[in-house]
Chains A and B, each alone.
Chain A
Amino acid sequence: MERGRLRLIALLLCAVFLLVGCGGSGGETTTENGEAAPARDTLIVGMDREPAGLDPASSHVTTAVMIFNNIYDTLLAFDTDMQIQPRLAESYEQLDDVTYKFNLRKGVKFHNGEELKSSDVLFSFKRLYDIPAAQGQVDMIDPNGFECPDDYTFILRTKEPWSALPAQVCSSYMNILNEKAVTEAGEDYNRNPVGTGPFKFVSWTPGDSIVVERFDDYWGDKAILNKVVFRIITETTSRVIDLESGGLDIALAVGVTDVERLQNNPDFELIQFTHTGIRYGAFNCSKEIFSDKRVRQALNYATDVDTIFNVLYDNGLGAMRADSPVIPLLPGRNTDLPKYEYNPEKAKELLAEAGYPDGFSVEYNYLANTTNTRLGEMLQAQWAEVGVELIMSPLESATLTAALNAGEHDFCTANSTYALGDTIEGLYSFFHSSMHGTSRCRAFLSSPEIDALLDEARVEQDEERRLELAYKIQELIHEEAPWIYIAYEYYNVGLKSDVKGFVPAPNSAHDFSKVYIEP
C-alpha cells in the first residue's frame, strides 16, 4: 500500500519534470546559431543592449544604430572619419538656403524585391512626423516642402536655413524604408524590418539574439559573411569571458579592465576608437547654489580631474583626457582653453567670495554602475577638502531620467554623444536655454550671450564662420563652467584574431559587410 503510493508519486513527479522539460524544449526558443562552433562564414557578435525594435524610428540605442546600418541605408552617411559621404543618394546639391536636391541611385533593391523610388524616401521621412519618438528629428524640416519630381530625384526644404541638414539626413532615424513593406507589416514591422542594406533580417529571439544574412542583390559591394548573429549579453564580464572562451567572434563594449589583457593575448585583437561622446559632470545651474558661476568654477578647481581620469581609465588606457566640451573628432574644437588646475585653495577663496565660506552639501544623482560610483566616491573625497559635502544618491534608471529631465538634481554625471555628429548642434543641445528639460541638457545653463551665439551659428551657412563661432562659444562655456570635463571615452571592441575587416565607426554604426573570417 504505502509502497505503491510512493511509486505513484515518484512517477507523477517524473511526469511533471518531463512535461516541463519537453514543453520548453519544443525548439521555438532556440536560435539556430547560438552554437559555440560557428561555420566560417557566420560571425557571432556579443552586444551589450537589446534594441527595442528594428524600426529606425523607434529605437536609438547604439546597438540598434549598428544593426540599422547593416539592414538599411540612409541617403547620405558618415564614414569612419565622420565625413559625410553619398549612400543611397549618388549626389546632392543645395539649391537655395533651404532647398536640397538628392539624386537617388538607380537599380537599388529592397530585401523584398521592390526597387527604391523617391516615393519610398518621401514615405520614410513623412512618417517621422507621426511617430513621437522621431518627431524631434524632423523639427527643422518643412513637412510641406518635400517633392518627388521623378522616381530618382527627391527634394526637401528646411523650415529656415539650417546648415546641419546633410548631417541630419545621415541620422539613423532617416533610414530609407520600403513603403509597401511597412504598410503590409503594420504593427509587426518593428520586428520584420525590410531595408536596402547589405544584410537582410532573418530572425529575432527576444533576449537572446538577432540574426541577419547576406543580401545577394545589394546595390554595392556584397557582404562577405553569409550570416551575422548579434547575441545579447548584457553583463560585461560574461561577454568578455564568452569571447575568450570561444563563444563569440566579436565582443562589443569591452570594459577598460579587460583592455590590457586582450591586447596582450595573441589570439585576440582589441580595437579602440573614440566615439562621439564626452564624459562630464554637470552642475544644475537652475539651482540657487549653482546659479553663481564662481561656485561652479570653485568646484572645477576643487576637482583633481587628472587623478580621477587616471584611476577611472587606467592611466589613459580607456579614454582621452577631456579639455574642452567639444570632442576631438569634430571640427571647431577649442584646444586653447585654460585648464582649471586642481587648486583647493583657490576653490575655497571662490566659495567664500560667493558667500559659502563653510561650504554646502550637494546631491549627486546617478545610475549605480562601477564608473559612476567610483567617480562619485572620488569627487566626494576631493570636494570634502573644500568643505563641500557630496551626497551620493543613486537612482534606478527610469527615476534618474525623469529627475534629470525635470532638473531636480544638483549635480550629475553623463556620457553624452554629439547630436548629429555636429559641433554646433551638439553644443546647442547641451547648453542652449531652449533645450532645458531635454535629455542632453543636464546643466540647465541660461546664458543669453551663449544662446545668441548658438542661434547665430545654427543658421550660419559659411562653414568657416560657423567654426569661428563654435570657438567663441567654447570660450564662453568654459568661463561659465557648467561642466567638469572628464574624458573622451574610448569604445573597445574585442575580436578573435582571425576576424578581419572590421572598421569601427565613431557613431556606432559599424559596417559588417566588409568583415570576414580568415580561414
Chain B
Amino acid sequence: MIRYILRRILMMIPVMLGVTLIVFTMMYITPGDPAQIILGDNATPEAVAKLRAEMGLDDPFLVRYFRFVKDLLRGDLGICYATKQPVFDRLIQTFPNTVKLAAFAVVVSTIMGLSLGIISAAKQYSLFDNIAMLLAMMGNAMPNFWQGLLLMLVFSLWLGWLPASGFSSFKHMILPALTMGTSSAAVLARMTRSSMLEVIRADYISTARAKGQTEFKVIMHHAFRNAMIPVITTIGLQFGRQLGGAVLTESIFAIPGVGKMMVDAIKARNYPVVQGGVLLIALSLSIVNLVVDILYAYIDPRIKSQYK
C-alpha cells in the first residue's frame, strides 16, 4: 500500500510537468501581448518592445519554458505581471477562499444528495422517488451564473436574508455554496439511490426485515452504512471538481477566489499567474483523487489487493 501511494505521488511529477507544458504551449499560441497590457493604453510601441525584451518574452519557446521549469524546481513561481507580487502570495490569498467555498458546497450537496437519494431508494418507483430525482437534477441542469443571480435576487434583494456579494463572513458563503452545491447534489443523490438499491436487495437486509425491525431502522442502520462506500468516494471527487469549477460563481458573487483570478489572468495574459494557478489546482485535484483512491482501497479489500 505504501509503495502504491509513493508510486502515485511520483507519478504526479510528470503529470504536473505535463500540465505546465500544455498550459505554457496554450498561452504561447494565444495572441495578445502581456507587455502591452501591463503598460496599458497610453504606452508607446517602443516602450512595449522594450518591456517585452526585459520580460524575456522575445525568447524562443523552449528557452522560456525551461526557464520556467528551472524556477519552478527552485520553488519560484515567478512574479505576477499585474500586481508585481510573487505568484505564490497571490495563490495564498485566493486559494483558501476557493477551498472554503468548495468544501461548503460539498457539504450542501452532500446533505441534499444523501437525503434525496436515501428517500428515493426507500420508496423506489414511487411518486416521491420520481419527484426527488427530478428536483435533484434541477440544480444540475441550471447554468450556474443564472442560478446565482436568481438566488441573489430572491435571498438578498427580496427577502433581505443574506448579503449579495463578497466573502467576509459565513453568511456570505451561503448563496455561492448553494449555487455550486445544488449542481452536484444530483450526482450524489443518484449514486446514493442506486447504491442503496443494490444493498437493499442483499440478503442481510431481508434477514433484518424478517427479524421484524422497523423499515426506518433497516434503512438507516443496515442499508445506509453499506451503501456509503461508493458515495464517499463520489463526495471526494465532487470536492475536487468544485475546486476547479468555482470560476463563474466566484465572478457572480465577487469572491476573491483562485478561479476568478485565473480567468482574469488568462484574459490579461498574466502567464505566471495562469501557470501557478493551474498547477495549484491540478495538484490539489490529483491529491484529492489520490486520497479518494486510498480511502476506496481501504474500504474494499478486493481493490486493495490490486494496488501492489
The answer to whether any beta carbons of A and B sit under 8 Å apart in the complex is yes
Contact A235 B40 (CB under 8 A): no
Chain B residues positioned under 8 Å from A59 (CB to CB): 40
Taken together as a complex, chains A and B put the C-alpha atoms of A242 and B254 apart, in Å, by: 11
CB distance from A491 to the nearest CB of B (A): 18
Given A20-B99, A52-B83, A207-B260, the answer on whether A30 and B43 have CB atoms closer than 8 Å is no
Taken together as a complex, chains A and B put the C-alpha atoms of A235 and B261 apart, in Å, by: 14
A17 in contact (CB, < 8 A): yes
Taken together as a complex, chains A and B put the C-alpha atoms of A12 and B106 apart, in Å, by: 15
Contact A398 B103 (CB under 8 A): no
Given A36-B163, A245-B156, A399-B31, the answer on whether A238 and B254 have CB atoms closer than 8 Å is yes
Chain A residues positioned under 8 Å from B97 (CB to CB): 24, 29
Task: Select the stretch in A114-122, A282-290, A435-443, A481-489 that faces chain B.
Answer: A435-443
Task: Produce 1/0 per residue, A392-420, CB < 8 A to B.
Answer: 00001111011101000000000000010
Taken together as a complex, chains A and B put the C-alpha atoms of A23 and B30 apart, in Å, by: 36
CB distance from B175 to the nearest CB of A (A): 11
Chain A stretch 92-142: residues in CB contact (< 8 A) with chain B: 132-133, 135-137, 139
Contact B163 A399 (CB under 8 A): no
Scoring B41, B96, B152, B251 by chain A CB atoms within 10 A of each residue's CB, the highest score goes to B41
Task: Select the stretch in B6-14, B46-54, B111-119, B124-132 that faces chain A.
Answer: B46-54
A60 in contact (CB, < 8 A): yes
Given A208-B167, A405-B36, the answer on whether A190 and B83 have CB atoms closer than 8 Å is yes
Q: CB < 8 Å: which of A26, A28, A36, A237 contacts B149?
A: A237
B308 in contact (CB, < 8 A): no
Contact B256 A207 (CB under 8 A): yes
Chain A residues positioned under 8 Å from B212 (CB to CB): none
B165 in contact (CB, < 8 A): yes
Q: CB < 8 Å: which of B100, B152, B167 contacts A238?
A: B152
Task: Produce 1/0 per residue, B213-236, CB < 8 A to A.
Answer: 000000000000110110010011
CB distance from A319 to the nearest CB of B (A): 21
Contact B299 A5 (CB under 8 A): yes
Contact A399 B295 (CB under 8 A): no
What total of chain B residues lie within 8 Å of the partner, measured CB to CB? 72
A16 in contact (CB, < 8 A): yes
B205 in contact (CB, < 8 A): no
Chain A residues positioned under 8 Å from B260 (CB to CB): 207
Q: CB < 8 Å: which of B83, B232, B295 contacts A53?
A: B83
Chain B residues positioned under 8 Å from A2 (CB to CB): 225-226
Taken together as a complex, chains A and B put the C-alpha atoms of A3 and B221 apart, in Å, by: 10
What total of chain A residues lie within 8 Å of the partner, measured CB to CB? 68
Contact B36 A238 (CB under 8 A): no
Contact B41 A60 (CB under 8 A): yes
A-B contact sample (18 more), CB < 8 A, given A36-B163, A402-B33: A6-B225, A9-B298, A10-B228, A20-B100, A24-B97, A30-B168, A33-B168, A34-B168, A52-B38, A132-B47, A206-B94, A207-B255, A208-B256, A239-B165, A242-B254, A396-B267, A398-B33, A402-B32
CB distance from B173 to the nearest CB of A (A): 10
A-B contact pairs, 14 of them (CB 8 A): A10-B228, A21-B103, A137-B42, A206-B93, A206-B261, A207-B94, A208-B256, A239-B165, A241-B153, A242-B164, A397-B267, A397-B268, A398-B30, A439-B42
CB distance from A441 to the nearest CB of B (A): 11
A264 in contact (CB, < 8 A): no
Residue of A nearest to B35 (CB): A132
B190 in contact (CB, < 8 A): no
Contact B41 A9 (CB under 8 A): no
Main secondary structure on B side of the interface with A = helix
A369 in contact (CB, < 8 A): no
Chain B residues positioned under 8 Å from A76 (CB to CB): none
Residue of B nearest to A398 (CB): B32
Contact B83 A233 (CB under 8 A): no
Contact A207 B257 (CB under 8 A): yes
B306 in contact (CB, < 8 A): no
Contact A5 B298 (CB under 8 A): yes
Taken together as a complex, chains A and B put the C-alpha atoms of A244 and B149 apart, in Å, by: 14
B305 in contact (CB, < 8 A): no
A247 in contact (CB, < 8 A): yes
Contact B44 A438 (CB under 8 A): yes
Given A136-B47, A245-B157, A401-B36, the answer on whether A439 and B41 have CB atoms closer than 8 Å is yes
Chain A stretch 411-434: residues in CB contact (< 8 A) with chain B: 419
Given A13-B232, A20-B100, A24-B97, the answer on whether A247 and B45 have CB atoms closer than 8 Å is no
Residue of A nearest to B268 (CB): A398
Contact B167 A133 (CB under 8 A): no
Contact A23 B32 (CB under 8 A): no
Contact B160 A246 (CB under 8 A): yes
Given A206-B94, A241-B153, A403-B31, the answer on whether A233 and B165 have CB atoms closer than 8 Å is yes
B172 in contact (CB, < 8 A): yes
Chain B residues positioned under 8 Å from A191 (CB to CB): 83, 85
Chain B residues positioned under 8 Å from A23 (CB to CB): 96, 99
A315 in contact (CB, < 8 A): no
Q: CB < 8 Å: which of B84, B90, B165 contacts A242?
A: B165
Residue of B nearest to A205 (CB): B256
Chain A residues positioned under 8 Å from B267 (CB to CB): 396-398
Chain A residues positioned under 8 Å from B256 (CB to CB): 29, 205-208, 232
Taken together as a complex, chains A and B put the C-alpha atoms of A132 and B247 apart, in Å, by: 32
Chain B residues positioned under 8 Å from A244 (CB to CB): 157
Taken together as a complex, chains A and B put the C-alpha atoms of A31 and B256 apart, in Å, by: 11
Chain B stretch 262-308: residues in CB contact (< 8 A) with chain A: 267-269, 291, 295, 298-299
Contact A34 B172 (CB under 8 A): yes
Task: Produce 1/0 per residue, A217-246, CB < 8 A to B.
Answer: 000000000000001111101110110111
Contact A24 B169 (CB under 8 A): no
CB distance from B276 to the nearest CB of A (A): 14
Given A52-B83, A191-B85, A238-B152, the answer on whether A34 and B166 have CB atoms closer than 8 Å is yes
Taken together as a complex, chains A and B put the C-alpha atoms of A29 and B95 apart, in Å, by: 10
CB distance from A428 to the nearest CB of B (A): 13
A25 in contact (CB, < 8 A): yes
Given A34-B167, A34-B169, A238-B254, the answer on whether A205 and B93 have CB atoms closer than 8 Å is yes
Taken together as a complex, chains A and B put the C-alpha atoms of A246 and B34 apart, in Å, by: 38
CB distance from B85 to the nearest CB of A (A): 7
Chain A residues positioned under 8 Å from B24 (CB to CB): none
CB distance from B132 to the nearest CB of A (A): 24
Q: CB < 8 Å: which of B42, B45, B93, B165 contacts A437?
A: B45
Contact B50 A132 (CB under 8 A): yes
Given A52-B83, A207-B94, A439-B41, the answer on whether A16 and B164 have CB atoms closer than 8 Å is no
CB distance from A134 to the nearest CB of B (A): 8
Chain A stretch 465-507: residues in CB contact (< 8 A) with chain B: none
CB distance from B224 to the nearest CB of A (A): 10
CB distance from A26 to the nearest CB of B (A): 7
Contact B228 A60 (CB under 8 A): no
A35 in contact (CB, < 8 A): yes
A336 in contact (CB, < 8 A): no
Taken together as a complex, chains A and B put the C-alpha atoms of A492 and B255 apart, in Å, by: 24
Contact A187 B84 (CB under 8 A): yes
B252 in contact (CB, < 8 A): yes
